[in-house]
Amino acid sequence: MLTKDSKSEISADQPVIEIRDLHKSYGDLEVLKGVSMTAPRGHVTSLIGSSGSGKSTLLRCANLLEDSQRGEILFNGEPILWKGDGPHRRPADRKQVTRIRTNLSMVFQQFNLWAHMTILENVMEAPVTVLGRDRKEVEEKARIYLDKVGIGDKCDVYPAQMSGGQQQRAAIARALCMEPQALLFDEPTSALDPELEQEVIKVIKALAEEGRTMIIVTHDMRMASDISDHVVFLHKGLIEEEGHPSELFGKPKSERLKQFLSATVPA
Ligand SMILES: Nc1ncnc2c1ncn2[C@@H]1O[C@H](COP(=O)(O)OP(=O)(O)O)[C@@H](O)[C@H]1O
Ligand SMILES: [Mg+2]
C-alpha cells in the first residue's frame, strides 16, 4: 500500500523521484526542454553532459530548490502540487515542499560547510534545527556517520583546518545524518585535487554498494561507469541518450555522446 507520509509502506519498486517532461527557463533562456528521468529506489543514476547542458538545474528542480514551468515531479509517487501556469507556476503547498525536501539531501561541489562550526556541529545542525530531533541522539548518529566517511577523529575541528577531500566527506556525513530517502550529488569531486578525489569517490562507491538511492552529476566518467545502474546524457536541455553504463560508455549511439566521451574520457 502506498501512503504519503509513511516510509515503511512504500513499495520497493516505487521510484523515490520521478520527473516527467520537465521544462525550465530562466527568463528567455530555456534550460530544460522536456526532460523525464527517475531515481529508482536503491539505484544510482548518473547525469553527464557538457557544461551548461542543464545538469545542475535538473538536480535543483528535483530537489525543489528551483521552480519549473511545465511537467511533473513526483516523490514516492506523490505529485508536487502546483498553482499558476507557465512562468507563474509555483508549488501550491509549502509544507509539502518542506516535507519532501527534508527527505532529499544534496552534496555540492563547494561543500558549503559552516566555517564557524566544528565538523560535528555542521553534521548535527540540520537534524536538530530543521527536523527538531533530540540533540543527544543526533550527536550519536553524527559520530557514526563521520566514522563511516573516515573522519571520525575530526569532530572538533573547523572546516578550514581540513583538506578539501575531508571537507567533502564531512558534507556527505552531514547529508547522511538527515537520513534522507535519496542523496543528490552535484559534481562532488570537481573542486578536488586528483589524489583527494579518490577518497571521496571511495565513500560514494561504498554508499552505492549499500544500495542507497542516488543521483550523481559528475564529470568523472570512470566513477559513473563503475557505480551507476543507469546513466543519462543531457545535451542542451534534452536527454540525448541514456542507458546502462556498459551500453552508454561501451557502445554510444549518438554522435554527440561519442564526441562528448572522446573529449572527456582519458585514453
Ligand atoms: N540562476 C540562473 N539564472 C540564469 N541562468 C542560469 C541560472 N542557473 C543556470 N543558468 C543557465 O542555465 C544553463 C544550464 O546551467 P546548469 O544547469 O548550471 O548547467 P550544467 O550544470 O550542466 O553545467 C546555462 O546556460 C546557465 O548559464
Ligand atoms: Mg553544474
Give 31-44 pLDDT, tens digit per residue.
Answer: 999 999 999 999 99
Grid cell locating 115 = 566555517
What is the whole-number distance in angstroms between the Cα of residue 63 and the centre of ligand 1? 16
Residues with Cβ within 8 Å of residue 56, at least 6 apart in sequence: 186, 187, 217
CB 218 near ligand 1, within 6 Å: no
What residue's CA is closest to ligand 1, atom 16? Answer: 54
Query: Residue 1 has what pLDDT?
Result: 41
Per-residue burial over 119-142, b = 16 or more CB atoms within 10 Å of its CB, e = otherwise: bbbbbbbbbbeeeebeeeebbebb
Query: Residue 257 has what pLDDT?
Result: 97
Say how far apart CA 196 and CA 160 lie, in whole Å: 16
Give yes or no for a contact between 111 and 159, defined as CB atoms under 8 angstroms apart: yes
| 57 CA closest ligand 1 atom index | 17
If one counts every other C-beta atom within 10 angstroms of the C-beta of residue 221, the result is 19
CB 53 near ligand 1, within 6 Å: yes
Crossing angle, helix 164-177 and helix 135-148, to 10 degrees? 140
| 59 CA closest ligand 1 atom index | 17
Query: Residue 264 has what pLDDT?
Result: 84
CB 28 near ligand 1, within 6 Å: no
Query: Residue 2 has what pLDDT?
Result: 44
Query: Residue 266 has what pLDDT?
Result: 61
Give yes or no for a contact between 262 and 60, defined as CB atoms under 8 angstroms apart: no
For residue 34, count CB atoms less than 10 angstroms from its CB and return exposed for 0-12, middle for 13-18, buried for 19 or more: middle
Ligand at minimal distance from the CA of 190 is 2
CB 31 near ligand 1, within 6 Å: yes
What is the whole-number distance in angstroms between the Cα of residue 10 and the centre of ligand 1? 34
pTM of the predicted structure, to 2 decimals: 0.94
Q: Flag residues of the chain having pLDDT under 70.
A: 1-8, 265-267
